[in-house]
Homo-oligomer: A and B are copies of this chain.
Amino acid sequence: MKNFVSIADVADVQLLIEMGLNYKNNPLADHTLGNGKRLGLVFLNPSMRTRISTQLAAQNLGMEVIVFNVGQDGWSLEFGDGVMDGTSVEHVKDAAPVLGQYFDVLGLRTFPSLKNRDEDYSELVIQQFVNYAGIPVVSLESATLHPLQSLADLITITETFNEKRKPKVVLTWAPHIKPLPQCVANSFAQWMTVWGRAEFVVTHPEGYTLDEKFTNGAAITTNQDEALAGADFVYVKNWSSYTEYGKILNTDRSWMLTAEKLKLTNKARVMHCLPVRRNLELSAEVLDSPASIVTQQAANRVWAAQAVLAKILQCKFNPVRGARGVYE
């Protein structure tokens, strides 16, 4: 695997899930695989779980990790082609090749603007790093996707569901007071449909249809009760509108997942990527009940990241570090 910015980079999803589960049983199984290799974690936006779990994963593989937090005012990057006489102090074409010289693998966290859909959905930022860093790039969440989260989610479903049939997995929109990215929902939908080992349903109010390239033919309904019926897993998540980009169209709090609604399901386990707004997205009663597996999900972020880093380290790539006057 050369990069990990979406599921398109993954040759075998099931193998990656199993690698994650193996590392969970034996965290130090490959504790020398990353010796002498350096992981740079560059955060253009804040992060808690991703930041810590990826560091732990790298340490388990014997890699050295350096974290670089891009301050809000410290290092605003330029992506355009004009004269740099504004507030951006460095062009990605100049910054990325340098990071490519310092590290063997680069993790990058960035968020969408939620203003300009075309720009966000072109994944301008992470793609430029892929283009110019010359080393493998791992998404720590980008403008439209969060593949490390999705891999952890599939690991969680796999280890929790022990029946022979396919589980029914429902992704349900939840209320929120802030316009959030579509990343987690897009990514989960994409991984579920490509993986294909579950009956997958998406439910959301009118106006919250996700980009079809990610839902990928999944069953979609605006009737939440219908969707929840017989579910084995309910993934709760808010997202802002894709069609009326970045807007909050619905404030109907009846979409919150409650213990009452959970009765419609097949004793479903409840998932959320965290952070979660209690009593807004999900009732405290559900979160504090045995139905909730949100902590388990977050813990599995370590094994997802470890599987991805291991797959990249195993790959015999010949980095072409940058395009201009760069040497090995």
Contact of A84 among B98, B280, B292 (CB under 8 A): B280
How big is chain A's contact interface, by range? 35 or more
Taken together as a complex, chains A and B put the C-alpha atoms of A91 and B292 apart, in Å, by 15
Taken together as a complex, chains A and B put the C-alpha atoms of A291 and B324 apart, in Å, by 8
**Which residues of chain B come closer than 8 Å to A98, judged between CB atoms?**
48-49, 274, 295, 298-299
**Which residues of chain B come closer than 8 Å to A48, judged between CB atoms?**
68, 75, 95, 98
Instruction: Taking A38-B56, A52-B102 as given, write out 15 further A-B residue pairs in contact, using a Cβ cutoff of 8 Å, ordered by the A residue number.
Output: A46-B75, A48-B75, A48-B95, A55-B66, A84-B277, A89-B275, A90-B275, A94-B275, A94-B294, A95-B275, A97-B295, A290-B325, A292-B324, A295-B322, A296-B327
A296 to chain B, nearest CB (A): 6
User: Does A117 sit within 8 A of B, measured CB to CB?
Assistant: no
**Which residues of chain B come closer than 8 Å to A59, judged between CB atoms?**
64
Contact of A323 among B275, B288, B293 (CB under 8 A): B288
Copies of this chain held together in the complex: 3
**Which residues of chain B come closer than 8 Å to A280, judged between CB atoms?**
83-85
**Which residues of chain B come closer than 8 Å to A38, judged between CB atoms?**
56
User: Does A249 sit within 8 A of B, measured CB to CB?
Assistant: no
Taken together as a complex, chains A and B put the C-alpha atoms of A293 and B325 apart, in Å, by 5
A21 to chain B, nearest CB (A): 13
User: Does A279 sit within 8 A of B, measured CB to CB?
Assistant: yes
Taken together as a complex, chains A and B put the C-alpha atoms of A46 and B68 apart, in Å, by 11
A45 to chain B, nearest CB (A): 9
Residues in chain A within 8 A of chain B (CB atoms): 38, 40, 46, 48-49, 51-53, 55-56, 59, 64, 66, 68, 71, 74-75, 78, 81-85, 89-91, 93-95, 97-99, 101-102, 177, 269, 274-280, 284, 287-296, 298-299, 302, 321-327
Which of A52, A99, A276 is the most central at the interface, judged by chain B CB atoms within 10 Å of its CB? Answer: A52
Taken together as a complex, chains A and B put the C-alpha atoms of A322 and B293 apart, in Å, by 11
